[in-house]
Structure 1
Amino acid sequence: MQPLQSELRVIETAEALASTLGGDPNHTVAAAALDTQGRIHSAVNVHHFTGGPCAELVVLGVAAAANAGPLVAMAAAGDRSRGLIPPCGRCRQVMLDLHPDLLVAVPSDVGPQMQPIAKLLPDTYFFPDSDAERVLRFNRRYYEAVAEGTKTSSVRWEELIPSGPAIFYFEDDDRPALKGEVLAVNRYRLDELTPERLRLSDGDTVERYIRGLRQHYPAMPDDARVDVVDFEVR
């Protein structure tokens, strides 16, 4: 997916820091990460023959030292004008375990793209004791409705959302994230959706809702199974 403005700032921060490297072979990659408060944290790798950490892992520590909480976007860039680079396998596993709702910037033929960390490491092992804080993302136009409790459900495709406490993060929004809880996640085929299951108000239709859903998920197939997520603000 195309990067949002906040995610472009993460990419730009990583690339700007990487442009200052090159004279020291022990530090060759820069990384930047965005937290749910809108803060960007940055760091560089520590190359060493014993297995010094990648920049992505160093920035996780930097963010933790700043009490950042869950991270929502990450980018890494190489020195000597190498530009955006994807994370290695070890970094992907750590990101998935500690920040399972992270979007990671990767290069492509059409420019930077944001990929969910779960899609960068499919069919993987999950570390059961990581106790990661979860994030439920929203378009910023829903902030008031979610904050006021008039919007209490959302439909998602391939987002792997669990029940339990979560931070409600509104993309490209300067207002503070909200704390809440995912109460239930129920999966249906598109042709099983009903006004009751979608919590539709009077006058709205399933067909119109699905058309809107396809604008958000253009790759969603006709036989897709989607999750109806019920939530509440604490």
Structure 2
Amino acid sequence: MNAARSALRTGGDGNIHTVAAAVLDEDDRVHVGLNLYHFTGGPCAELVALATARTAGARAPRLIVAVGDAGRGVLAPCGRDRQVLADYYPGIHVVVPTSEGTRIEPIATLLPHTYQWENQQVQRLRFRAKHLPAVRDGSKRITMRFNDPLQVGPALLVFASDDEVSLPGRITSTVAKPIESITDDEAREDGFTSAADILPGLRDYYPDLQPGDEIVIVRFDLDE
């Protein structure tokens, strides 16, 4: 909240930039953004802050708050922002104003009957067929990807074979890391013996992968 207020004091102008938002990410870093008012529909501060967080490497924002100028204090997100948060960051919490002061609420509470877009075009998380048993029995809930634009939200888990199998699921987090910073525990979660095995193992999928490249650790679940 203090970061949002500071950004508003620094960048607010009482006209175009009147709201600031702050995002707390999975690594406890704070990212801020200002709204950009325009009669055609400029972006809200919450969306700008989320994009700023993404640019800085955040993949699983945990908390978001918006503050208005002219003494308005904490502002609840508009309907569009609530839908965006529910679609892309279903685990996020939001600071909202109440008659008894501010309160932290999960986004599902703010949008209890959200529009469900699972039946629209859903992102696909693709696997080789050999991974199907482990995904089905729950022993595999992590995968590492390179240059694969995935995001938190609904996903169709697709297993390539002559009889292609698809399972409905959800990507719960995406964390970008340089290969050399991945831990042995993270490596073992994805079936590797140790972190030293990640680069040669992933080159089976990505032949051009280099030691300094950044990969994304994707965590997912199956829908019940």
TM-score, structure 1 normalization: 0.53
Q: Which residue does 2:88 correspond to in 1? A: 98
| Superposed displacement of residue 183, structure 1 | 7.1
* Larger relative contact order, structure 1 or 2 (CA cutoff 8 Å, min sep 6): 1
The higher radius of gyration belongs to 2
| SS of residue matched to 1:68 | coil
In structure 1, give the amino acid aligned to 2:116. F
| Superposed displacement of residue 21, structure 1 | 5.0
In structure 1, give the amino acid aligned to 2:152. E
Q: Which residue does 2:107 correspond to in 1? A: 117
| Superposed displacement of residue 165, structure 1 | 5.5
Q: Give me the whole-angstrom Cα distance separating, in 1, the residues matched to 2:170 and 2:44.
A: 31
In structure 1, give the amino acid aligned to 2:73. G
| SS of residue matched to 2:67 | strand
Question: What are the residue-to-residue correspondences of 1:175-190 with 2, within 5 Å?
Answer: 182=221
| SS of residue matched to 1:94 | helix
Question: What are the residue-to-residue correspondences of 1:118-157 with 2, within 5 Å?
Answer: 118-128=108-118, 129=122, 132-133=151-152
**2:24 and 2:64 in contact (8 A); partners too:** yes
Q: Which residue does 2:19 correspond to in 1? A: 29
Q: Give me the whole-angstrom Cα distance separating, in 2, the residues matched to 1:184 and 1:56.
A: 28
Q: Deviations over 1:142-167 (max 9, x none)?
A: xxxxxxxxxxxxxxxxxxxx966545
Q: Which residue does 1:63 correspond to in 2? A: 53
Are residues 1:107 and 2:112 paired? Answer: no
| SS of residue matched to 1:19 | helix
Q: Deviations over 1:208-228 (max 9, x none)?
A: xxxxxxxxxxxxxxxxxxxxx
In structure 2, give the amino acid aligned to 1:118. A
| SS of residue matched to 1:49 | coil
Q: Which residue does 1:54 correspond to in 2? A: 44
Q: Which residue does 2:67 correspond to in 1? A: 77
Q: Deviations over 1:34-68 (max 9, x none)?
A: 11011111010000011001101111111121121
Structure 1 residues 12 and 184: CA distance shift in structure 2, 3 A: same
Q: Give me the whole-angstrom Cα distance separating, in 1, the residues matched to 2:95 and 2:86.
A: 14
Structure 2's unaligned 5+ residue stretches are 124-149, 154-167, 175-182, 187-216
| SS of residue matched to 1:118 | helix
In structure 2, give the amino acid aligned to 1:82. R
Are residues 1:18 and 2:8 paired? Answer: yes
Count of aligned pairs: 141
Structure 1's unaligned 5+ residue stretches are 1-10, 135-161, 169-175, 186-234
**What's the C-alpha RMSD, in Å, of the aligned pairs?**
2.9
Report the identity percentage: 41
